Amino acid sequence: MFTHIDEKYGYDGELGAIYAKDKTEFKVWAPEAEAARVQLYKTCRDEDPYRRLPMEKGADGVWRKTAFGDLDGIYYTYVVTYDGIEQEAVDIYARSAGVNGAMGMIIDTKACDPAGWDKQDYVKLEKYTDACIYELHVRDFSIDKSGNFCYKGRFLAFIEKGLVNAAGDSIGIDHIKELGVTHVHLMPCFDYCTVDESDVHRPQFNWGYDPQNYNVPEGSYSTDPFNGRTRVAEFKRLVYALHREGIGVVMDVVYNHTAATADSSFNKIYPKYYYRLWGDKGEYFSNGSGCGNELATERKMVRKFIVDSLCYWASEYKMDGFRFDLMGLYDTETLNLISGRLKEINPNVLLYGEGWTGGDSPLEWGRRAMKLNARSTPDIAFFSDDFRDTVKGNNFENRDKGYVNGATGNEEYVKEIMCGRIPHPQIPNLTKFSWTDTPAQTVNYVEAHDNLTLWDKLYYTNSTDSIEKRIRMDKMAAAMVFLAQGIPFIQAGQEFLRSKPFPGGTVFDHNSYKSPDAINSLKWNRKSEFKGVFEYYKGLIGFRKAHSAFRMCDKDSIGEMMRYIDKLPQRVVGFVLYGDNEFEEIVVFFNPNDYPVTLHAFGSYGVYIDGDNAGNVPLRTVEGDYELDGLSTIVLGRPRQVPEEVYEAPATD
């Protein structure tokens, strides 16, 4: 219904409060508004503006006003009129905001750069499959008493080095570094709605999937939500702290819906334009997000807003990647535009998302950025729910089992997920269901913030088994994540059996989006309590990073270089990898049975990973018949033989 508007008024220039030392230019696109003005406030607590500046509309539908003088740190809103009714709105392009995001802020963002900011850069990422992703919530990271952070629950907790838990093991950013992941994926850090920023000393929690101001960092994670500069400066310090450790930062973005609908700033600035609608006259907001509305990504100025916003985060904050929530609500054309523009800013940018929606949408199936359309957005990876459910059982049925915890007869599906959901010549029957031709589009995971943690799921599926047995299952699931073709992804704390029990400890929270810290926070003492599990995850990550054979990218190489082994004991799956950078051959077996099986090695191999340990130093060697324990993974490797004549002794005097 807005096609004629897009054709007549579609605008390509910069929008927002464009700051310079001597003047600020305000530009807001609202082609059908009757009037618009800017209101300026000295603090975000002021009830009345100290200036009201009428704006003028251009033929391009943009209302403009230039205010002279240095307005850095001044708060502002727009008042826009439709049908004679004035409504005050926050600029959707605002770069910072006052408390609770109720006013935008004019800001010299460069003045918020930490010292040395210009000397650092994005992390290198040659290909998506080189990434190991760690999903983390800012507050969870530092709020628990087991971590002695100064900046509990704040962005600045990421700059705190040298911290340890009660047992003396490293925590915080040192822990992330020790684990060896390449990218930290931060759950929403843009300004979201639910947490009251004016009262941050009262414990409050939300995941943050309720967007308010897309281009503004969340105030409750800053040390002063009343000063819009603080959140900008402190979020940059977080990014810088991770970059200094060589760790990339991925931002979880939620352009699929806004927290408010009819009274959102988008809707006050241009009623209905930003949202998908239904009904004969478009009188209703459609709700493909399950949160009350969905953004109409296919409309010209909505698409422009999303692209501009992402480019802003990528260039201003040096974000290394983005994770798209409910990406099935984005049209594929928008996503391709996004990846194209972001790659111009940073060719190493990492992009992935949820290839599904949260409800029905008017967006045509063929245009949705869903898993089944993955081939039409080649630079975007998708969460493989197939992987998740095959390994541990259906995500929504607490007691449903998967490969590691007791399901039988799914070995062929295991082969399908281990090659990254691409066509493979040895599984012709499943090839027709493959949804991509490259594992660079497949995010492999068994745990994320949504639903039960893996450890809690194993409690429900295997409550009569011992903790030791469930730990073996957990380790095998992790081995599958890190030894599969694709992009490995874990939730923070998974490496020490993260758990979200309700009081009592036998019922677990599967949707902790607003649950208290006691349920959500990272309990740093678990790292020491389950040190063996942590060491195992760390060893898996190290092994994966050392071997290119786990990080292949195209289906033809994988068809040739990854060969599944036939005639194995029941339920055992195994494969050989060739073409590795270091090893002539890598052999991987998973035994989900709770009894040992006998396997045969044709020659002598080092064992690098077994059910207990994982790393880059061989644990022992095997040759001929050998035993693989129950509920175990084994990885054998044979280093490439280096001919002796290649060795040149260093010159001596």
Which residues are catalytic, by number? 325, 354
What's the closest the beta carbon of residue 236 comes to Ca ion, in angstroms?
Answer: 18
Residues 289-328 contacting Ca ion, CB under 5 A? none
State CA 617 to chain mean position distance. 31
Instruction: Encode burial over 331-362: b for 16+ CB neighbours within 10 A, e otherwise.
Output: bbebbbbbbeebeebbebbbbbbbbbbbeebe
Give me the residue whose beta carbon is nearest to Ca ion: 191
Residues 490, 479 contacting (CB under 8 angstroms): no
Residues 443, 132 contacting (CB under 8 angstroms): no
C-alpha angle 578-419-586 in degrees, rounded to nearest 5: 25
- Within 133-227, residue ranges assigned H as helices are 138-142, 172-179
Cβ burial of 475 (10 Å; 0-12, 13-18, 19+) is buried
What's the closest the beta carbon of residue 142 comes to Ca ion, in angstroms?
Answer: 18
Q: Which one-letter amino acid corresponds to residue 55?
A: M
What's the closest the beta carbon of residue 259 comes to Ca ion, in angstroms?
Answer: 9
What's the closest the beta carbon of residue 315 comes to Ca ion, in angstroms?
Answer: 23
First to last CA, the chain: 83
What's the closest the beta carbon of residue 354 comes to Ca ion, in angstroms?
Answer: 23
206 or 373: CB nearest Ca ion: 206
**Which residues are within 8 A (CB) of 461 and not within 5 positions of it... i.e. 6 or more apart?**
392, 393, 398, 399, 400, 401, 405, 406
Give the strand pairing for 248-253 and 321-324. Answer: parallel
- Residue 599, token pair as written in the block: 């396997």
Residues 203-262 contacting Ca ion, CB under 5 A? 219
SS (H, E, C) 217-276: ECHHHCCCCCCHHHHHHHHHHHHHHHHHCCCEEEEEECCCCCCCCCCCHHHHHCCCCCEC
How many residues of this chain bind Ca ion (CB under 5 A)?
2
What's the closest the beta carbon of residue 198 comes to Ca ion, in angstroms?
Answer: 10
CA distance 623 to 140: 47
Residues 95, 17 contacting (CB under 8 angstroms): yes
Residues 181-200 contacting Ca ion, CB under 5 A? 191
Residues 418, 470 contacting (CB under 8 angstroms): no
Q: Which one-letter amino acid corresponds to residue 207?
A: W
94 or 487: CB nearest Ca ion: 94
What's the closest the beta carbon of residue 231 comes to Ca ion, in angstroms?
Answer: 9
Q: Which one-letter amino acid corresponds to residue 525?
A: N
219 or 574: CB nearest Ca ion: 219
DSSP state of 565: P
191 or 379: CB nearest Ca ion: 191
* Tally: H helices and E strands in the chain: 16, 28
212 or 361: CB nearest Ca ion: 212
104 or 328: CB nearest Ca ion: 104
SS3 of 213, please?
strand
SS (H, E, C) 517-531: HHHHCCCCCHHHHCH
What's the closest the beta carbon of residue 191 comes to Ca ion, in angstroms?
Answer: 4
141 or 589: CB nearest Ca ion: 141
104 or 219: CB nearest Ca ion: 219
Name the site residues for Ca ion (rule: CB under 5 A).
191, 219
